[in-house]
Amino acid sequence: MIRSTVAGSLRPVVLDGATITLEQVGSVALHSAPVVISAEAMREVHRCRHMVEQLVEAGEIVYGVTTGFGKFSDVSISPADAALLQVNLIRSHACAVGAPLPIPVVRALMMLRANALAKGHSGIRPETVQLLVNCLNRGVHPVVPEQGSLGASGDLAPLSHLALVLMGEGEAFYNGERMSGEEALIRAGLEPIQLQAKEGLALINGTQVMTAVGALTLIKAQRLGKIADVIAAMTVECLHGITEAYAEQLHRVRPYPEQIGVAQNMRTLLHGSHLTTKQGEIRVQDAYSLRCLPQVHGAVRQTVAYAQDKIAIEMNAATDNPLLFVEEDLVLSGGNFHGEPIAFAMDLLKIGMSELANIAERRTERLVNPALSEGLPAFLSRQQGMASGMMIPQYVSASLVSENKVLSHPASVDSIPSSANQEDHVSMGTTSARHAAQVVNNTAKVLAIELICAAEAAEFRGPADLAPATKVLYDKVREVVAPLLQDRSISSEIEAVAKELCEGVWLSAVENVSGELY
């Protein structure tokens, strides 16, 4: 579980349908902060539910309430069958496949679905959304298979598995044990609900799976973007890098804020180093993987910022269909469930994070290649020929960046029609988000390998000569990875370092010395 670096993270998070932040999603998903629905939001839920009941009583034709779904939208359903229609919807749609989504992702999607319902446009009963919140607070986590969403009409299949548990069906995790949804509710002291008109549709017609995966992926990506600067700074030191490449004047005349910010980070992080060099002292200019750090890392931050902007909107959006507008006395069928904005955002994010890994792997190569490493021993080995040192970790890094290139193919450019061509264009946004999560996890391991190699190179240069900021990171990695005095398997150490990089605690330790990084 990713630890919090935010004080007071266990304070209740109030859902009002409009103001949820990425930090709050992390607090609930990763640290089990409790959730409550605001009184005003619950009043809006009441009002909207009353409107649904009036429509059913009047026999109005409303998609998914008194009609079938998808291509069956032209089939009328009698008011007497409105409740059964919702139960059938959930049971038929709960056919997702694959491994269960991680519990933090499930917690995030539960929170985000409750927040969307709290906007008061979905027509769900207050007691149903309250049960969803109670499950979240008491640790009843539905088993939600990760595959099966087209990313339009929402995340129908995976979200149906969430709804099954509220009905006392399906499966859930409770206290670390997988069991029936009914048993999980009983153990948590909760009772299942019987879905009424519109409620099944309200629970599953939305983009919360792709948004939940995207939000938690984005939290990691933000942390990795910053710590990558610190790792890169240590590599620059160990390769006697030239600091003029980060001069303020140079970046001022190409005024991308992100590039300027990374250059400032590099100047801050390298301040006080006894290992860096000046232009012409050893060579006139460095290779691109060192010299172009601000340009590349800065551009990566642009992709992260774009994704953050779109996730922030989607977390507070009403994305089901139809939507009810009580003040205007309107029921409108539309397409807010279409995941294209998140699909694009996640595809862009995974491209950016792939590039962060690509350039990190190139720096790792320079650390281990005796033709490029400014006098460091080949593969950072203390027993040349007898011990391979850091030769194969660079292979692993190369493998991971190549895998990222495959995963970075944009899922959003694909579409396949469904529901007899009624739903003839889809976003594949959930696939984009899942692939982005894999790319970010791979990138964490690539950065971990660079950091382990940089720390090993620092052993030969002299750790005392590192800048104060990078020395903090060196000390942190040495708590997990001992110097490689002789060959050993370091698989578990790479994984452990990657986990620490994602959690952000090491980054906080560096910023305690350097000040907050851009």
Residues annotated as part of the active site: 63
> What residue type is 57 in one-letter code?
E
DSSP for 44-82 reads HHHHHHHHHHHHHHHT---TTTTB-SGGGGGSB--GGGH
Q: Within 13 Å, how many C-alpha atoms sit on residue 128's CB side?
A: 27
- Are 51 and 134 in contact by the 8 Å Cβ rule? The answer is no
Q: 89: burial class by Cβ within 10 Å (0-12, 13-18, 19+)?
A: buried
Strands 171-174, 177-180: parallel, antiparallel or unpaired by DSSP? Answer: antiparallel
Element (H, E) at 428: none
Give the rounded distance of the alpha carbon of 70 from its chain centre: 30
Coil/strand/helix, residue 88: helix
Identify the DSSP state of 378.
Answer: G
Q: Which residues contact 351 (CB under 8 A, 6 or more apart)?
A: 303, 408, 410
What is the residue whose two structure tokens read 């983009």? 207
Identify the DSSP state of 2.
Answer: P
Identify the DSSP state of 372.
Answer: T
Going by C-alpha positions, the residue among 231, 239, 275, 222 that lies closest to residue 452 is 231
Q: CA 315 to CA 400: how far, in whole Å?
A: 31
- Are 29 and 141 in contact by the 8 Å Cβ rule? The answer is no
Q: 415: burial class by Cβ within 10 Å (0-12, 13-18, 19+)?
A: middle
Strands 35-37, 13-15: parallel, antiparallel or unpaired by DSSP? Answer: parallel
- Are 148 and 97 in contact by the 8 Å Cβ rule? The answer is yes
Coil/strand/helix, residue 384: strand
Instruction: Please report, for residues 363, 364, 390, 500, the alpha-carbon distance to residue 394 in angstroms, rounded to integers and kept in the order given.
Output: 10, 7, 7, 20
Q: Which residues contact 94 (CB under 8 A, 6 or more apart)?
A: 157, 160, 161, 163, 164, 170
174: β partners? 177
Q: Which two tokens stand for residue 477?
A: 């990695």
Q: In which region does residue 17 sit, left (phi positive, over 0), alpha (psi from -120 to 50) or beta (all else)?
A: left
For residues 103, 115, 70 and 97, what is the CA-based torsion angle, rounded to 10 degrees? 0
384: β partners? 387
